[in-house]
Amino acid sequence: QLSSHIDIIPNFLYVTFVKNTGAGFSIFENYGILFFSVLTISACAIIVYTFFQTEKRIAKWILVMILAGAIGNFIDRLMLGYVRDFIGVYIFDWAFPIFNGADIFITGGFMALIGLTIIEEMSEKQAWKNKQL
C-alpha cells in the first residue's frame, strides 16, 4: 500500500512504497517518460559501447551493474509510468530518500567506477615515479 511503513531494523531500515516519477532523489520529477527514455537509452548505449572498448574485467562487471540498474528502473518507468522505490534508511535520525534495488546497482556501480579510476590513476603515478628512479 502506498506510503505504508514497515520497520525492518527499528530506527535504521524500513520498507515503504513510493511512486517516483523523477530520477534519483526525485530530481527532475514529472519530466515525463519521453525525457527519461531518451536519457536511459543514451546512457545504456554509452555503457554498452564502453563495455566493448575496455579490456579490464572488473570494469566490465561494474558497467554491467550500472546497466542492470538502469534497465531495471527503465522497465518500471515503461510499464508503470514511474519507478517503484521501497527501501528507506535512517542515518543519524535523518530519513535518507527512498530508493530501490536498481538504484543500489547504479550508485554502487558508479562508486566502484570512481574507486577503480582512482586506484588506476594512483598506480600509473607510482609506476611513473618508479620509472624515473
What are the residue numbers of the active site?
85, 103
Q: Which residues contact 82 (CB under 8 A, 6 or more apart)?
A: 19, 20, 21, 76
Q: Which long-range contacts (CB under 8 A, 24 or more apart) does 3-9 make?
A: 5/88
113, 62 contact by CB (below 8 A): yes
Distance, C-alpha 95 to centroid of its chain: 19
